[in-house]
Amino acid sequence: MYSTRKTVSLFFLALFLCVLPLMGEEPLTDEPLIMEEPLSSEEESLLGDEQLVSEEPLLREEVHHSEAPQLDESPLPEDGALLSEDAFADEESLLSDDAPFKDEDFLVFEAPPLVIEVPPFVRVIRSFDDIFPNLSRSLKNEAMSDEGLRNSIEKDESPLLIPAAGSGIDLLSKIMLQKPSHIIEALVVVPYNKKELDILDIYNALGRIENIQDHSFTINDRDINIFEETTRIESVRNRKPIPDPPPADKFPYSETMYLRFKDAFFGNLYIRGDISISLYGITYSMTNFTDIRYFLIPIIRSERISIILYLEPVKEGVLIYSMSGFYLPGFIADRANLTPSINRRISALLSWITDGLSIQEDK
């Protein structure tokens, strides 16, 4: 009878200790609750296999303060068995910030690559009036003729042919860098005959340097080939002639070539040609890298003559705009008028370009 009452008392005591945390009461200290007196052997036998709910946490804390047990390397229990503390420790390590993640731990979503389609570049074809809007009707008609429009000025005079401010064409500032004493302007529009030409056609037309020697001009009812021979050369130092390359399938954005023109009056002219391609057209600049002589007398020093050609396919045809400048000392300019002579050579260059464009139309 006494044992039964004691067992019941212990049962209610354990139940009270288990329910106490559920009632919202906090323990007085952080230390675990441990029974001061252990159960006797008779009390343990009375309990048998019945496990009090409060005993498991008490036993856990006792293990914590006792000697650490050896790790059990036996296989994990079957489904439905209790998880060990090591399993909870592994779970906490996975949830920590420093735990390394594996690809198989997550569902990986691969987004398709972002593709942005850019529309093809379409070059806008401008008109003659878009580039030269301020030309009078008479000057425009002259520019559309076979001979084209020409104008010669000296350094104190204003040029006649100035493109629109927003056209992107400014040959005058490049010419003025050389501080010329004389300037020659030219403007001509070569109409399309068989097909419209593009920048590649113009580039190939400018590549036929050997054909310049075939163009002549008339003096005193005589046709004179002003350039007896025209060819490319290797470089400034190596002046060995080289042939023109075959027509190109694509054009570079810039190119430098070296040329030799055998002039009927001035002898050999050594010229550097620079080609640059912009959004709308091609700029072809020529300058002498040696002195130009007349009967062994230098009349134009090196780098003091500059011929700039700008070519652009427009709605009416191929626009050819040229501005040339050269410097003559005062004592030479007073004794010789070289403007008509330079103008004839520019005419030969314009005729060469026109024929080159015709060859491109036949292809």
Tens digit of each residue's pLDDT (9 = 90 or more) over 171-221: 999 999 989 999 999 999 999 998 999 999 999 999 999 999 998 777 777
Q: How sure is the predictor about 74, in pLDDT bands with cuts at 50, 70 and 90?
A: very low
Residue 13 pLDDT class (50, 70, 90 cuts): very low
Share of the chain above pLDDT 70, in %: 66
Res. 137: pLDDT tops 70? yes
Provide the pLDDT for residue 147.
87
CB 306 within 8 A of CB 182: no
**Cα–Cα distance measured from residue 327 to residue 336, given in angstroms and rounded to the nearest whole number:** 13
What are the structure tokens assigned to 293, written together? 């002589």
The answer to whether residue 48 scores a pLDDT higher than 60 is no
Task: Report which of 222, 235, 164, 202 is spatially closest to residue 361, judged by C-alpha positions.
Answer: 202
Q: Which residues pair with 325 in a beta bridge?
A: 183, 306
User: How would residue 122 be classed by pLDDT, with cut points 50, 70 and 90?
Assistant: low
Segment 101-122 shows an average pLDDT of: 47
Structural domains of the chain, ranges and CATH numbers in brackets: 1-66 (no CATH), 128-361 (3.30.530.20)
pLDDT for 17 beyond 60:
no
Lookup result for tokens 């005062």: 330
What was the pLDDT predicted at 329? 83
Higher pLDDT, 86 or 307: 307
Q: Which amino acid is at 154?
A: E
Across the chain, where does the E strand assignment appear?
Answer: 149-154, 182-191, 217-219, 222-224, 227-233, 241-242, 254-263, 267-277, 282-288, 292-294, 297-300, 305-313, 317-326
Check if the beta carbon of residue 174 is closer than 8 Å to that of residue 303: no
Cβ-proximal residues to 216 (8 Å cutoff; 6+ apart), any chain:
223, 224, 225, 226, 348
What is the pLDDT averaged over residues 339-358?
92
pTM of this structure: 0.66
Average pLDDT over residues 83-112: 45
pLDDT at position 348 over 60: yes
CA-CA distance, 202 to 312, in Å (whole number)? 8
**Cβ contact 322:185 at 8 Å:** yes
Q: Exposure pattern of 169-192 as b/e (b: 16+ CB <10 Å)?
A: bebbeebeeeebbbbbbbbbbbee
Segments in 96-177 forming alpha helices (H):
128-131, 137-143, 171-176
